[in-house]
Amino acid sequence: MKIEGEHLSLQSGGKTLLDDVSFCAEPSQLTVIVGPNGAGKSTLLDVISGYRTPDSGMVRWNGTPVQEMSLAERAVRAAILPQNSVLNFPFTVREVIGMGCIPLSPASDTPQLIDAVIQELGLREMADQQFTTLSGGEQQRVQTGRVLTQIWNRQDAILMLDEPVAALDIAFQYQVLGLVRRFVTRGCTGLLILHDMNLVLRYADQVILMAEGSIQSHGPAAEVLTSALFQDIMSVSSTLLQTAQGQQYLVLSPPG
């Protein structure tokens, strides 16, 4: 599902949050938004998802303005996980995952779908535990599973995940991003916010670099993450290296 943002601007409390932002995210590509704190990354994701309405400009999903779509229509087309997703009720892990089935048409395979998500995210041993007893990282994996359940069997959906691996152990970071990559490979459109630039380099097809509410650069990950503009905005020195096995990685250090 193609996502287009056209001249998006948004102000709040006298502060410019988005300033004439335009971009395109294509199906079968994972686009990662990077930038310093306060750059407008989460705000942009909120506008793309339809959660917030820009003061001017338009977001389109496959040509349809997102604000013209009902919540139900969006729910079956997109898996959206905000930066802070709080749940304080005594639901089990299985019940939380099952919430992702609510937008879907009634189907006899719902229990099998929930089981598949639980298995894929390594949640089998905690499936019947209360969500509130889990660690922050475990809760993050459950919440990710919940939203992915909404689009589990779709090949043309959108994934919008705001820092989905921030609280996860290294192995689970790879697990979740590998799962996202599989969704993208089969035709979904991925939009993520990440702060670990080596994960960005490993998984992103395209990178959007933001600062002060504007898109400063948009292009292939290796190009954006080693550009002079990236180093200036992020206040780091960035060097691209490669292992003997051909895996690229970034060495980031303070400037000077």
pLDDT tens column, 132-188? 999 999 999 999 999 999 999 888 999 999 999 998 999 999 999 999 999 999 999
pTM (predicted TM-score)? 0.93
Which ranges of the chain would DSSP assign to H, the alpha helix?
A: 41-49, 71-75, 93-98, 110-120, 136-150, 170-185, 197-203, 221-225, 228-234
pLDDT in the model for residue 195: 96
Whose CA is closest to 32, among 222, 246, 229? 222
DSSP state of 151: T
Structure token digits, residue 45: 């994701």
Structure token digits, residue 217: 């650069």
**CA–CA distance, 39 with 187 (Å, rounded to integer):** 29
Show the CA angle centred on residue 13, arms to residues 8 and 14, nearest 5°: 75
Residue % of the chain over a pLDDT of 90: 84
Q: Amino acid identity of 235?
A: S
**CA–CA distance, 225 with 216 (Å, rounded to integer):** 12
pLDDT-derived band at 204 (thresholds 50, 70, 90) equals very high
**CA–CA distance, 129 with 256 (Å, rounded to integer):** 50
pLDDT tens profile 55-88:
999 999 999 999 999 998 998 899 999 987 778 8
Question: Quick one: average pLDDT of 235-253?
Answer: 92
Task: Please report which helix (H) or strand (E) contains residue 161, including its range.
Answer: strand 158-162
Q: Is the pLDDT of residue 110 over 90?
A: no
Q: Amino acid identity of 53?
A: T
